[in-house]
Amino acid sequence: MSVEALYKVILYPFINESLASLKTMTNLVGEAGEAFVDSVDDFRFKGYAVCSQVTGGLDGVIMMHHYPETAIAIGNSVCQHMFEEKYQYTEINKELSHALAEWGNTIVGRSTDLHGRYSLDYKFSSPYFVHNVNDMEKYLAGVTEVITVPITIEGVGRYYFNLLIRHVEYQTIGIKREASTGMSNPHTQTLPLDSKILLVDDSAMIRKALRRYLLQLGYSNIIEAEDGSVAVTMVRDHKPDFLFLDVVMGQMNGDLALAKIRADGSKVPVVMLSSITDQVLIKRCESQGISGFIFKPIKADTGAEVIKQYLKIA
């Protein structure tokens, strides 16, 4: 497969989504350069990377690859955009790691969902993060070719998309799946302000943002869980009145947690959260009884208003 074909079929959705996410999650503006083939011997780790393993018709790794200073600038901008506060961190600390993870998760989630709408034999792992140059040796093992696309951010610097290729088979574009249009809350009665609300997301940053929006709306009885399995237990033990539930999490995904919550007999209103825009997923959750489906990211300036639209019960 040619560089141009690989760029269009594999890399383009990731690049396009990263540029869109830059704008929506950071207010930064990026521009993609021309794709080119890198020498495997000359390939160097730049300091921070978001990766997704590719299997199926292609065996390799997609890397969204940053110099530390670029990653820091993006992380500060994500924090500022989510919380409307000035962030000026100078190193990748815990909070910036959460911000960069949320940005990376959004890009990989939306991009892989776009790939999934076509009958292509490519599968992508959940994103993982590389900070150590010593880890690069295992990712480069067996790599025969590296395709690189530079992304220039105005006033900040560059990051790069790298496709590390071990083996590839050409795939033609197949049948397009139904794209998602989301799901609004069909109910009309506003959730009382003294209601107990459970926030479930493996991202501490997202939980912090949701808590902030809820407090702005007058809701203060808020509890949190960072995984679906914990959420199932907390619904049993704490009997929340309302639940915001992320879909993709580490130990147990939200759709499975939702099924277990319903199997336990709970009818708590649930609004799902995800960066994966998949109508099949939404319909599966809807069959379990949900009150809405919100696509991440949620912007700070409209976050409270968006959340307010979903805080309704039958």
Residues 43 and 118 placed together within one structural domain of the fold? yes
Residue 177 lies in a domain: no
Total number of domains constituting the chain: 2
Residue 182 lies in a domain: no
Residues 41 and 157 placed together within one structural domain of the fold? yes
Residues 149 and 201 placed together within one structural domain of the fold? no
Instruction: Say which CATH number the domain at 54 has.
Output: 3.40.1550.10
β-bridge mates for residue 307, sequence order: none
State residue 277's pLDDT score. 62
| pLDDT, average across residues 128-143 | 84
User: Is it true that the peptide bond before 269 is cis, omega within 30 degrees of 0?
Assistant: no
Q: What is the pLDDT of residues 219-250, one digit of tens each?
A: 999 999 999 999 999 999 999 999 999 987 77
Query: What is the band of 278 on the pLDDT scale with cuts at 50, 70, 90?
Result: low
Residue 209 lies in a domain: yes
Last residue of a domain, one of 133, 168, 203: 168
β-bridge mates for residue 164, sequence order: 61, 146
All residues at 6 or more sequence positions from 263 whose CB lies less than 8 Å from its CB, including other chains? none
Residues 14 and 157 placed together within one structural domain of the fold? yes
Query: What is the band of 253 on the pLDDT scale with cuts at 50, 70, 90?
Result: confident
Decide: 89 and 72 in contact? Cβ < 8 Å: yes
Decide: 79 and 135 in contact? Cβ < 8 Å: no
Residue 145 lies in a domain: yes
Residues 140 and 16 placed together within one structural domain of the fold? yes
User: What is the model's pTM?
Assistant: 0.72
Domain that holds residue 289: 189-313
| pLDDT, average across residues 19-45 | 88
Q: At what angle do helices 94-116 and 204-216 cross, to 10 degrees?
A: 100
